[in-house]
Amino acid sequence: MAKNKQPEFYVGYLPIPPALKWTVRGLVVLLAGLIAFDAWLVASFQPDAGDGYWADTPTQYTGTLNRAPYPMLRVSENGTTRTFILISDEKRGAEAVLGNIPDGASVKINAYEVKRAAVSLLQLAATDVTVASAPTVAAETVEIVGPAELTGEIVDSKCWLGVMRPGDGHIHKACATLCIRGGIPPMFVLRGGEGPQVYVLTLADGRAIPPAAILDYIADPVRLSGIVEKQGALFYFKVDLSSLARLE
């Protein structure tokens, strides 16, 4: 009478039985496949990091300072005017270092360029902003595009333009809130179409938006109504804050 075959049993100090080796190998392959699939699934749901650029080294710029609605620098390059948003280091707006330098003054700075979607920003490389002897760079002509009701997201210009990638969405909410509270100019980003459309956000009368008025809405899908204007490469969205509403 044939004896019943005893099931193979693994003992730690003995070699693994042949049948169990194949079982373990199969489980390892299955686990590796599940990990790879999980990694792909997580990556596929991440927001687009965008094509923002942040210069590795500072460059010297000389141009005309514009302090309203936010600090900006107009620079003439080969007969063409470029307007840069100005910010300080860390999470501070440029107002923190401009002191009493008047609007319209010619200044010289060292700064890192940050740019995305035809919008450029300069992060000061030092706290010194020097008044310079240079011709005034004239402002670009303002073109009134017209009234608009737009849906999108309030972001901080520093991170969204390239310092952080991505610099938007709920994962970035805490950082964007700190930046805007510290004086980094807010921007409004639309989704859809051929790519993100981005606007410098101001009050209806063109003044800077008080950070406290928008902090609760940063990084959330929202709707805003106002007037769209274009000046050079920058679009401005002059909004009625009473229209600010979070989307369901």
Distance of CA 136 to the CA centre of its chain: 30
pLDDT for 36 equals 81
CA–CA gap between residue 155 and residue 220 (Å, rounded):
9
Q: How many helices (H) and strands (E) does the chain have?
A: 4, 12
Confidence of residue 42 (pLDDT cuts 50, 70, 90): low
Mean pLDDT of all residues belonging to the chain: 87
Average pLDDT over residues 234-238: 97
Structure tokens at 156: 């901080």
Confidence of residue 45 (pLDDT cuts 50, 70, 90): low
Q: Which CATH number fits domain 53-131: 3.40.50.10860, 2.40.50.140, 3.40.50.300, 2.40.30.10?
A: 2.40.50.140
Task: Kindly state the helix (H) or strand (E) to which residue 235 belongs, with its residue range.
Answer: strand 234-246
Domain 53-131 shares a fold with domain 142-246 = yes
pLDDT for 2 equals 53
> Is the bond leading into 210 cis (omega within 30 degrees of zero)?
no
* 1-12 tens-digit pLDDT: 555 555 666 666
pLDDT value at 44 more than 60: no
Q: Which CATH number fits domain 142-246: 2.40.50, 3.40.630, 3.30.1360, 1.10.10?
A: 2.40.50
Confidence of residue 28 (pLDDT cuts 50, 70, 90): confident
Burial classification of residue 4, based on how many CB atoms lie within 10 Å of its CB (0-12 exposed, 13-18 middle, 19 or more buried): exposed
Task: Output 90 or 215, whichever has higher pLDDT.
Answer: 215
pTM above 0.75, yes or no: yes
Q: Where are the domains of the chain?
A: 53-131, 142-246
With beta carbons less than 8 A apart as the criterion, state whether 41 and 149 touch: no
How much helix, strand and coil, in percent to the nearest 5, is found in the chain?
25, 40, 40
pLDDT value at 247 more than 70: yes
Lowest mean pLDDT among 37-41, 124-128, 195-199, 221-225: 37-41
Lowest mean pLDDT among 4-18, 50-64, 100-114, 147-161: 4-18
* 54-85 tens-digit pLDDT: 899 999 999 999 999 999 999 998 889 999 99
β-partners of residue 150 are 224
CA–CA gap between residue 188 and residue 196 (Å, rounded):
10
> What distances in angstroms separate CA 221 from CA 86, 185, 245, one per listed residue?
26, 19, 9
pLDDT for 68 equals 94
Residues 6+ apart with CB under 8 A from 40: none
Structure tokens at 97: 């270092």
